[in-house]
A and B are shown apart, each in its own frame.
Chain A
């Protein structure tokens, strides 16, 4: 069965420090991996995706993510956190075989403190 795990309910980071939001996945076939961000009372905004190619993917707002096939992980990173990065982050996976539904993790709340 396909699944996504985000092991941390909340991540706390001081502004200016690097941040990592963790994601591991389980999927048959080649994974298509995504990160979305949800600000309060807003929809899901696309940040970045991994389909194929370089394991380090760069996305919006200075975020990047590293695909690690051996560890089945796709951690989201940013070198220097901003208070405005505080939001709910969702990792999602789509199997390459057939249909296009996204399977989401439970989400990780990122709190960046001044």
Chain B
């Protein structure tokens, strides 16, 4: 069964450093998403991406964040200058069509020191 994959599974970084979180969505999916879950809190939407552009973003997704689909398989989330409060589990998801189920990857646990 196709799955969304994410790398790395864990990342530790120093405050102010740039991080790139990588995702490989399910191969025939067209819609891509990033969510995050701060420890003990609910899962929050960050951004959705379709046809090589952002279709919606939340207030959390400020200028420090960017997304990219650099090739036909990867979907990345970049945080330019990490802050302590960026520490969270970041989930990538994909769906085939806009109304379809979103399938989530296993997540990347980011710790900013």
Contact = CB atoms under 8 A, between A and B. Distances in A.
Given A43-B91, A44-B91, A102 B102 contact: yes
A103 interface: yes
A34 B95 CA distance: 14
A101 B107 contact: no
B42 A106 contact: yes
A99 B56 contact: yes
Interface stretch (A19-27, A45-53, A65-73, A74-82): A45-53
Contacts of B55: 99-100
A103 B91 CA distance: 14
Nearest to B31: A100
Interface string A86-114: 00001010000001111111110000000
B106 A101 contact: no
Contacts of B106: 42-43
Contacts of A102: 33, 35, 43, 45, 102
A32 B45 contact: no
A101 B91 contact: no
Given A34-B101, A43-B106, A101 B48 contact: yes
B43 A90 contact: yes
Instruction: Classify the secondary structure of B's interface with A.
Output: strand
B25 interface: no
B101 A46 contact: yes
A106 B55 CA distance: 25
Contact of B99 (A44, A100, A103, A106): A100
B105 A103 contact: no
Contacts of B104: 36, 43-46
21 contacts: A43-B105, A43-B106, A44-B43, A44-B93, A44-B104, A46-B102, A46-B103, A99-B48, A99-B55, A100-B33, A100-B48, A100-B98, A100-B99, A101-B33, A101-B45, A101-B56, A102-B35, A102-B45, A102-B102, A106-B41, A107-B42
